[in-house]
Structures are given as structure tokens and as C-alpha cells.
Amino acid sequence: MKKRIFVSATNTDIGKTYTTKLLLAEFASRGLLVGVLKPIETGVVDGYAPDGEALLECVKQLNPKLWSLEVEDIVPITYTLPAAPFVASKNTPLDLKLIVQKLEELEASCDIVIIEGAGGLYVPIDSQTMMIDLITKLDAVALLVTHCSLGCINDTLLSTRALEAKKIPYALAFNCRQNAESFENISAPYFEQIGQKVLKVESDIDIICDVLYNL
């Protein structure tokens, strides 16, 4: 089986797609054939999946073996309502076989596949499955992307402890955007005190990839 990395976050709009594109570019720069999968995307209107289209454009530039892919090949399940899949699908049971099929098709042309989740770890997919469960079902390691705003300590600890409870190997990355200075003064000292290395998406993507590849 090829390397699988599942990108999740402490909430929605934290920067999963941005981070996924950086991971793809960094791994490709190392000579690896990269692929990408977003198993479920909501808020898809008239067949247009914004995240899927952005990821498809990115990966086609990085892996010539994937030039013929369509967005349906990397986003197998879509819903119109921009809500948790449980709500958007009216609790339709997860079609795991379809996701695995698309993932294995990608792996025929890839060394590594980045899988982007929807929302945070405890976004409900159906009555039996949360997003965190999909990481285990796909036998992936995880990258948790967290924010740098006030409250990130609480949000980060809740999510990392959820991953640890499920015994999911993971790396942690901070997407600081415009508030890096306040983060250094308000939140970073706590993480440094507990021995958590602060790796930032923008500046440390090479180190983040090293950590993920060796998990």
C-alpha cells in the first residue's frame, strides 16, 4: 500500500486545502508521484466542487500521470447543502467502497496520496461515522492543521487528544495567517512549555513532510 496522509483541522476554514496543496508541491519536489483525494465535499452547486477543482488543477501540474482525471475522480461524494455530510445527505450511509475504489485507482499512478477531510475531526458523516473514523478506515496517518488565534490551545488539545484516543499517528501544523505576532506572545509559550514543536504551514512545510513521511 502507498503512503496515505489525511489532512484534518480543528474546525472548518482553517486552511486544509491550502495546506494540502503545499504538501503536494513539497512531496513532488522530492521526486515522488503525488495524488490527492477529497472523499466528501459539501456545498457543491451545479456540479462545481470548489475545493476539488483547486486540488485537481494543482495535482495535474505536479503528476503528469494524472492529466486525464476529472473532478469526480478525486471527489467521489458530493452534496449541495454546505453542511456536515450527515445533514447534507440526510444521513445517507457512507459509501466507503466508492472512496476506497477511487483511492486505489489513484495509487496506481502515485507514491503518496494526500486525503483532505471535510471540516474537523468530529464532523458527522452518517449516524455511525465521524470524520475521524474515516482516517482509520483508510489506514492513513493524520496531519492536524490548527489556527493561531486566541483559543487555539483549547481547540488544538481537544483534537490531538481525540487522535491519541483513537491511536492515530499524527503531526501538528499551525496555519498562522495574519496573527503570527499575537500567537508568539499568547499561545506559543504554552506549546513550547509542554514540548510541542511549533511547525508552521507557511515556513516549515519541508519539516512537516519529513515528520509525516516517517510516521
pLDDT of residue 201: 97
Determine if the pTM surpasses 0.95: yes
pLDDT of residue 1: 64
pLDDT digits (tens), the chain, 215 positions: 689 999 999 999 999 999 999 999 999 999 999 999 999 999 999 999 999 999 999 999 999 999 999 999 999 999 999 999 999 999 999 999 999 999 999 999 999 999 999 999 999 999 999 999 999 999 999 999 999 999 999 999 999 999 999 999 999 999 998 766 799 999 999 999 999 999 999 999 999 999 999 99
Cα 213 to Cα 15, 36, 40, 70, distances in angstroms: 20, 15, 24, 27
Domain tally for the chain? 1
The angle formed by the CA atoms of residues 64, 66 and 70, to the nearest 5 degrees, is 140
Q: Which three cell numbers stand for residue 31?
A: 521526486
Domain CATH number, residue 149: 3.40.50.300
Q: For residue 148, give its domain range.
A: 3-213
Task: Please tell me the distance from the alpha carbon of residue 68 to that of residue 38, in angstroms, as a whole number.
Answer: 17
DSSP 175-188: E-TT-HHHHHHHTH
Burial 63-81 (b: 16+ CB within 10 A, else e): beebeebebebbbbbbbee
Cα first-last separation, the chain: 14
Would residue 137 show up in a list of annotated catalytic residues for this protein?
no
Q: Which of 2, 3, 16, 38 is catalytic?
A: 38
Radius of gyration of the chain (CA): 17
